[in-house]
Amino acid sequence: MKELIKGNKRFREKKFPLLKENVEKLVKEGQKPEVLFIGCSDSRVTPDIMLDINPGDMFILRNVGNFVPPFKCDEDYHGSAAAIEYAVSVLNVKHIIVCGHSHCGACQSLYIDIPLEEQKVVHVKKWLELGYEAKKKTLSIIKNKDDKEKLYRLTEKISVTYQLKNLLTYPDVKRRLENGSLQIHGWYYKLEDGTIECYDQKEEKFKLLEECEDGK
């Protein structure tokens, strides 16, 4: 906590003065981000830093595994769904990025039998079900299932493609995709070197971000 306090002090003294004019404009006029970024809660994933962006540039949703729950119309609590709906239907973002990453604990946990002790992780176990289809697909195509490195890395990438499919279950996402006012992108961030790969939906493979047209 002491380091966080010191960090805020450094931010106020050194960085905020450089952002002050832009932030004041955002406060006065409201936020108008063009991008919804759906990333993992992993502490090693840092959207603002890895994309070198300013306040107001992206509406950011982070959860375990950068999963996208399918649309479900009921009166339960749906935090991730609410963020997606708000970004698409209220903020009218033009792009949605689902960004997976290497060494993702959620994807690795798909292959581990997590004990349910005193209901400590009941919500985690339920949430991980959103990765089951990716796990199933990975196991159906990978040759050496004992090669954990390849197994986990492939699962992470395949999971991104399934989360993109889940986005299509949201009525306004589907409508805006069809009328051309919204684009969706699948990205994969490598913790090791900061590289980002994007999913080419036509070629059905990941390639370096710089090689993708408009990141898609």
Rounded mean pLDDT, 185-214? 93
101 annotated ligand-binding residue: yes
Examine the domain organization and report whether 24 and 35 are in the same domain. Answer: no
Residue 212 annotated as binding site:
no
The encoded tokens of residue 189 equal 């961030």
- The C-alpha atoms of residue 82 and residue 77 are separated, in whole angstroms, by 9
For residue 199, pLDDT over 70 is answered with yes
**Are both 52 and 5 inside the same structural domain?**
no
Q: Check whether residue 23 and residue 116 sit in a common domain.
A: no
Q: Are residues 2 and 97 in the same domain?
A: no
pTM of the predicted structure, to 2 decimals: 0.93
Sign of CA dihedral 180, 131, 141, 211: positive
Residues 38 and 129 in one domain: yes
Average pLDDT over residues 151-177: 98
Collapse the DSSP code of 70 into the 3-class scheme (helix H, G, I; strand E, B; otherwise coil) and give the result.
coil
Query: So what's the pLDDT on residue 121?
Result: 86
Is residue 122 located within the same domain as residue 19?
no
Q: Greater confidence, 108 or 214? A: 108
CA distance 39 to 196: 13
- Domain of residue 88, residue span: 31-215
Whether 185 has a binding-site annotation, put simply, is no
Average confidence score pLDDT of the chain: 94
Residue 113: the pLDDT is 82
Domain count, the chain: 2
Q: For residue 38, how many C-alpha atoms fall within 13 Å in the half-sphere facing its CB?
A: 30
Alpha helices in 32-115 (DSSP H): 47-50, 79-85, 105-109
What's residue 49's pLDDT? 95
- Of the pLDDT bands very low, low, confident and very high (cuts 50, 70, 90), residue 214 is low
Compute the average pLDDT of residues 23-50.
Answer: 97
Kindly state whether residues 25 and 103 are assigned to the same domain. no
Binding site annotation covers 104? yes
CATH code of the domain in which 133 resides:
3.40.1050.10
Residue appearing with tokens 């009525």? 171
